[in-house]
């Protein structure tokens, strides 16, 4: 009897080896290795292979059978269909990130930090960009929900405009986190918001004490997008300095560096040009710096320039960029935590949560005392 058992085991092993080789050859000829190829190689039923590979708790298979299935899958290079698995278990281990402009290093930096957080929990990231186009933004909001994601983190042009859409997501239990700027109304979903009052206040204080009395704010936004809170805070802070409305202006332009460059040339060749310009973001500030250079203005002696976002490239320009920094890594980490808690249901949360982050003015070489000219 003992000899018979040994013979049976050897026969099974040879059968497994031969089956794996045959299935591997089949996979090479037919392309993608299928679940039935793994089952055939391991000498088990397809349902048994599926139960073992998906580590279902109701598996009755022996350890020896499990080892054969996993070994066959490894040797054949089998990759399970994640979409099918996700539909079955209700979890895709993928989250979506919606950004305005993938060419803006601010968004790519945020995506980098969010990816690090997601990978620690075994999740992937799918990125959509609405390319500073409000019509495309509407389409992307609907599209990203169809990409088999467990939740969405989104930078929106105006969360108030999308209130109905966001409310539907919250009511439906879709994990959704809005990242943006503090506004008068709280988004109807979880949110991670930057408060620009503190950073702008310190920037204006620095510029004012440096002798600047003529200002401009370059609002580089998508066509049809509202000016937003940064421009509002800018006017409010200058009014607190008792500067007349004629001492500052808010100018709109498109979202590209070239747009900021073109509008800056107009500003800097006007009869009463600004001596200090704050841009909506660092890319806009770089466009301003280029215009100033072309016009022979010295920075910061003739013109001080301040950006927003503290993108890494700004630190290494020939004249390093003064900016208002957002704690980007902390914001990405908090966005992920809010998302993950909703996905995993760590704690049932009937109400949306809001995380507020302060901004910080970082003084570098593009801002400083205004040169006093004598006639």
201 and 318 assigned to the same domain: yes
Q: In this structure, is residue 370 part of a structural domain?
A: no
What single DSSP character describes residue 275? S
Q: With bands split at pLDDT 50, 70 and 90, how would you rate the model's confidence at 80?
A: low
Residue at token pair 């013109």: 303
The pLDDT score that the predictor gives to residue 28 is: 42
- What are the pLDDT digits (tens) for 142-168? 888 888 899 999 999 998 899 999 999
Is residue 60 scored above 50 in pLDDT? Answer: yes
Give the pLDDT of residue 304: 98
pLDDT digits (tens, 9 = 90+) for 198-211: 999 999 999 999 99
12 or 352, greater pLDDT: 352
Same domain, 252 and 232: yes
Q: Please check whether residues 209 and 256 belong to one and the same domain.
A: yes
> 243 with 315, same domain?
yes
pLDDT, tens digit, for every residue of 252-308? 999 999 999 999 999 999 999 999 999 999 999 999 999 999 999 999 999 999 999
Q: Is residue 375 part of a domain?
A: no
CATH of the domain at 171: 3.40.50.2300
Q: Which of 57, 118, 67, 66 is nearest to 89 (CA)?
A: 57
Q: How many domains does the chain have?
A: 3
* Whether residue 295 sits in one domain with residue 317: yes
Residue 116 lies in a domain: yes
The per-residue pLDDT of the chain, averaged, comes to 87
Using one digit for the tens of pLDDT, what is the confidence trace for 303-333?
999 999 999 999 999 999 999 999 999 999 9
Note the pLDDT of residue 347. Answer: 56
301 and 215 fall within a common domain: yes
Predicted TM-score (pTM) of this structure: 0.78
Residues 203 and 251 in one domain: yes
* pLDDT category of residue 29 using cuts at 50, 70 and 90: very low
- Higher-confidence position of 49 and 133: 133
For residue 155, what are its two tokens? 């930078």
Residues 130 and 185 in one domain: yes
Query: Do 347 and 267 share a domain, yes or no?
Result: no
Least confident residue range of 80-84, 136-140, 314-318: 80-84
Residue 64 sits in a domain whose CATH number is 1.10.260.40
What DSSP assignment string belongs to 132-191?
T-HHHHHHHHHHHHTS--SEEEEE-S-TTTTHHHHHHHHHHT--EEEEEE--SS--SSEE
Q: Where are the beta strands (DSSP E) in 221-345?
A: 248-253, 276-279, 304-309, 322-325
- State the residue range of the domain holding 63: 2-80
Most confident of 13-22, 57-66, 254-263: 254-263
Q: Examine the fold and report which residue of 15, 47, 80 is the final residue of a domain before the chain moves on.
A: 80
Residues 230 and 154 in one domain: no
- What pLDDT shows up at residue 35? 81
Domain shared by 218 and 322, yes or no: yes
Examine residue 367 and state whether it is found in any structural domain, yes or no: no
Task: Specify the residue for token string 């280029």.
Answer: 290
Co-location of 185 and 331 in the same domain: yes
Is 365 part of any domain? no
In a domain, 372, yes or no: no
Pairwise CA distance, residues 7 & 13, whole Å: 10
Residue 374 lies in a domain: no
Reference 185, options 161, 202, 214, 216; nearest CA is 161
- On whether residue 171 sits in a domain, the answer given is yes
């Amino acid at each position: 009897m003992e000899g018979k058992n040994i013979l049976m085991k050897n026969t099974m092993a040879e059968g497994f080896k031969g089956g794996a080789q045959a299935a591997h050859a089949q996979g090479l000829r037919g392309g993608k290795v299928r679940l039935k190829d793994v089952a055939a190689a391991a000498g088990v039923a397809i349902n048994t292979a599926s139960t073992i590979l998906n580590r279902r708790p109701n598996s009755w298979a022996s350890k020896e059978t499990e080892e054969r299935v996993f070994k066959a899958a490894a040797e054949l290079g089998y990759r399970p269909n994640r979409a099918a698995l996700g539909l079955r278990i209700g979890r895709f281990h993928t989250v979506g990130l919606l950004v305005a402009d993938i060419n803006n290093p601010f968004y790519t930096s945020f995506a980098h930090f969010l990816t690090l957080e997601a990978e620690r929990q075994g999740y992937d990231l799918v990125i959509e960009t609405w390319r500073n186009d409000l019509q495309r933004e509407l389409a992307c909001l609907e599209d990203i929900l169809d990409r088999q994601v467990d939740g969405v983190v989104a930078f929106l042009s105006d969360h108030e405009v999308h209130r109905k859409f966001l409310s539907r997501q919250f009511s439906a239990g879709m994990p959704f986190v809005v990242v943006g700027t503090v506004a008068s109304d709280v988004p109807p979903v979880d949110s991670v918001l930057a408060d620009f009052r503190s950073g702008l206040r310190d920037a204006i204080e620095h510029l004012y004490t440096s002798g600047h009395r003529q200002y401009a704010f370059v609002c580089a936004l998508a066509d049809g997008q509202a000016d937003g809170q940064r421009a509002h805070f800018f006017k409010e802070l200058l009014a607190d300095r008792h500067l007349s409305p004629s001492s500052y202006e808010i100018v709109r332009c498109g979202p590209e560096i070239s747009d900021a460059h073109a509008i800056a040339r107009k500003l800097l060749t006007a009869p009463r040009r600004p001596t200090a310009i704050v841009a909506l973001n660092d890319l806009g500030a770089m466009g301003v710096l280029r215009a100033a250079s072309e016009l022979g203005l010295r920075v910061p002696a003739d013109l001080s320039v301040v950006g927003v976002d503290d993108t890494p490239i700004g630190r290494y320009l020939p004249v390093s960029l003064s900016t208002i920094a957002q704690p980007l890594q902390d914001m990405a980490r908090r966005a992920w935590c809010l998302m993950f808690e909703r996905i995993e249901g760590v704690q049932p949360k009937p109400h949306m949560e809001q995380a507020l982050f302060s901004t910080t003015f970082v003084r570098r070489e593009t801002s400083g005392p205004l040169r006093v000219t004598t006639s």
